[in-house]
Chain A
């Protein structure tokens, strides 16, 4: 029983990280039909910039703020300088542009910051809670609560503000949104900024657990993307559930089956899910009218 609980805690912690990345994917995908593969780099930058701002003498709260603002700016520049100039291009071209951007961001981080692993101090100490024989780090709770808050904020923004609604409108039908007077280009730019900020917050929250370095984004983008697809690409709740399920699958197979095949097991389950429900767990059925 204690094991089950431990594997669950561990899976939720890992899954929450994937969920945050998946959520970032979803927002940009909704607004622009682009799967932004630089999403992992937003997470990496959030952690790295905080580390270096702290090393420069800033207190952690302020350093985190600097990092979030900086990454938001990176998101904006990514849209303005790379995505916007190619706005007529196909989704595949745009996706390739984001892959290029992710390599660029990784390289710049390696050159301007450094290539070592870095760590942030846990926000509330490193003494684990013991619950039913299983242990849970306070930072894992911080990550889980953080994911919930980010999800809540995204939901409030989308449903309660005019800006959020213009994002939804752009997602639903870009031409129609444009006709009602929405500046869709600005809205898509906003989606990049918000996704970048979500990524940065995620990076700051998870770095005390996972450590970070300039190349940490690659793996996160892959796992986050898998989570988003599992949950149903484009559905924010689906993204979070997909990320959590992926994390749980990995840790359960590591614990109960074999640590040798844990990644394989997780991806086999995803494949099976997608065979039976290609739109993902929470995805809307898309009907193409001819």
Chain B
């Protein structure tokens, strides 16, 4: 009995001591919050994002932190669930009292958390795809990855270069697939592209041959665009070859990770997609300002995690360094000052492109940051 009581006392003392040190510690750290989809269907986004943030925060602290203060990282896993994401967002604001937030692996969670950080007037950088997150511009919200209008725009640009103007689309019912499909369909007439067939598949479907047969039987189709992410595009790609469609197939940057090539197998050969320069870091011209940043990140990530680099982790890296630079310029972690400085970011070279923020643009990327990439013999090949 006394043994138990003693160990309880020691335990309580230890906890109190722990609390005290963390409170004392907190006063002189910069607190960065993060809510990512580390597990669940979007884990292929959240997992590299988390590893990237942890890796660089560790390094930055080893080098002395920012403005003489160490960084403290608070990461929560929302499992891809918007409700959970919002709960964690509130916790970041109310309990962890973070100075800035890098969060939201997917569009749904990003939007669910947005108003929490707006109300708390905390700078918030989202890592999700949809343009909707920062359109119209919101004072406290920024975002890193390329958007679906950019993906459509880049694909249309390539189509016109190849003189292909009549296309079919096949899209997943996941959030990304829907958003990009809507964007491409709306943008096509302005770009002189005609969408003659528009098919849909469920995000967990395992066979898309009926949809593809209908596309195959539609006369005049010169190219096909597949909007979606997850395993859907890999199955579409295999079925595409199976039913023997020969016109070019385009994917979105939703599939820009090595696992897509592995899953789709030889069928992936010849597919084109717009993606960040990071994927083809070694093939970039030496004069390309992105080359060094992209190559450094690729080498570091692959060495430390043993996993092939993906653009998703790259966005987390870009967000962190853009934030750190803004904090350095602001000279403190003051939320309002940091926000103003993020908005003034000009010529920031990240793995995703050169970022130029402005009061009317909280994305800061243009089409030049995208590269058209072709899959060749199981690897990414820059289309010149």
Contact = CB atoms under 8 A, between A and B. Distances in A.
Given A213-B231, A254-B211, A259-B200, A115 B206 contact: no
Interface in B116-130: none
Nearest to B260: A117
Interface in A250-287: 251-252, 254-255, 258-260, 262-263
B263 A10 contact: no
Given A209-B206, A259-B199, A259-B211, A215 B40 contact: yes
A126 B266 CA distance: 10
B41 interface: yes
Interface residues of B, number: 33
B39 A115 contact: yes
A259 to B, nearest CB: 5
A119 B262 contact: yes
Classify the secondary structure of A's interface with B. Answer: helix
Nearest to A223: B204
Contact of A117 (B201, B207, B231, B267): B231
Contacts of A13: 207
B214 A255 contact: yes
A128 interface: yes
A105 B44 CA distance: 20
A199 B202 CA distance: 23
Interface in B35-54: 39-41, 43-44, 47
Contacts, number: 83
Contacts of B234: 117, 211
Contacts of A209: 206-207
A255 B210 CA distance: 5
A115 B263 contact: no
A210 B232 CA distance: 9
A244 to B, nearest CB: 13
Interface residues of A, number: 35
B175 to A, nearest CB: 16
A7 B206 contact: no
B232 to A, nearest CB: 10
A110 B235 CA distance: 22
B47 A115 contact: yes
Contacts of A262: 202
Interface string A102-134: 000000001000011111000000101000000
A3 B43 contact: no
A30 B118 CA distance: 56
Contacts of A153: none
B39 A110 contact: yes
B378 to A, nearest CB: 13
A98 interface: no
A88 to B, nearest CB: 34
B166 interface: no
A13 B210 CA distance: 12
A185 interface: no
Given A213-B231, A259-B200, A263-B202, A3 B207 contact: no
A119 B259 CA distance: 10
A219 interface: yes
Contacts of A116: 43-44, 259
A254 B210 contact: yes
Given A117-B231, A135-B244, 11 more contacts: A6-B213, A10-B209, A14-B206, A117-B44, A117-B230, A126-B266, A216-B204, A251-B210, A255-B210, A259-B200, A259-B210
- Can you list the 6 inter-chain pairs with the closest CB atoms, starting with the nearest? A255-B210, A210-B206, A115-B43, A254-B210, A10-B209, A219-B204
